[in-house]
């Protein structure tokens, strides 16, 4: 597969209340955005566990986008602040594993911001396309037990980064 024909696979975890509706608005308003994103609707971006991102990457995704309500406008009060903290730790972990920052993205988009979400999707697809395929499962394997290794690594990282309440 040449770099020109590479079409990245991106998983998008979109908040039910804002970002998923923004994607719906973009579609109904016929805003053009790349079809490379496979959308998974979640009730809140705060419900996206970092292990979901690691599993998506280990199963063949070239990138992952998490999209939610703007900070301070979460339907579940402060869950998007939780998302920001988790995302920061996740990026640190992925950097330690040799994964480029551009492969994961956190995007805020209200239900009325279909254009903002469409633009973010297009930008991410272009960034990941320029990086090329991740092929993580081919390059990083612990005796064929990728998911177990990812879980262990994530658990070790979370324990090291725990902040007292």
Domain-wise residue ranges, the chain: 10-161
User: Is the pLDDT confidence value at 98 over 80?
Assistant: yes
CATH architecture of 10-161: 3-Layer(aba) Sandwich (3.40)
Rounded to 10 degrees, the C-alpha dihedral 57/58/61/62 comes to 60
Q: Which of 107, 110, 96 is nearest to 66 (CA)?
A: 107
In this structure, what token pair is assigned to residue 68? 């939610």
State CA 16 to chain mean position distance: 15
| Residue 164 scores a pLDDT above 90 | no
Report CA torsion sign: 116, 99, 82, 14: positive
Global pTM value: 0.81
pLDDT on residue 141: 53
Q: Taking Cα atoms as reference points, which of 62, 19, 10 lies closest to residue 42?
A: 19
What is the per-residue pLDDT for 56? 95
What is the tens place of the pLDDT at every residue in 123-155?
999 999 999 999 876 655 555 566 666 677 667
The pair of three-digit structure tokens given for residue 24, joined into one six-digit string: 């719906």
- Res 146: pLDDT: 61
Residue 123 tokens read as 């930008």
The SS3 call for residue 67 is: strand
pLDDT of 160 higher than 80: no
Give pLDDT, residue 77. Answer: 87
pLDDT at 6 over 70: yes
- What pLDDT sits at residue 135? 81
88: pLDDT strictly greater than 60: yes
Is 26 within 8 Å of 115 (Cβ atoms)? yes
pLDDT-wise least confident of 56-70, 79-93, 147-161: 147-161
- Give the pairing type, strands 63-68 and 10-15: parallel
């Amino acid at each position: 597969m040449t770099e020109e024909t590479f079409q990245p696979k991106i998983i998008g975890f979109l908040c039910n209340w804002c970002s998923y509706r923004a994607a719906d608005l973009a579609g109904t308003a016929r805003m053009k955005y790349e079809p490379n994103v496979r959308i998974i609707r979640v009730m809140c971006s705060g419900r996206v566990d970092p292990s979901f991102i690691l599993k998506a990457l280990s199963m063949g995704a070239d990138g992952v986008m998490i999209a939610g309500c703007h900070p301070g406008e979460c339907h579940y009060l402060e869950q998007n602040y939780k998302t920001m903290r988790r995302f920061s730790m996740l990026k640190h972990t992925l950097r330690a594993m040799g994964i480029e920052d551009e492969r994961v993205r956190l995007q805020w988009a209200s239900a009325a911001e279909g254009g903002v979400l469409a633009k973010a999707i297009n930008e991410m697809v272009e960034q990941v396309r320029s990086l090329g395929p991740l092929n993580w499962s081919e390059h990083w394997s612990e005796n064929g037990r990728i998911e177990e290794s990812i879980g262990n690594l994530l658990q070790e990282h979370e324990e090291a980064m725990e902040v007292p309440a």
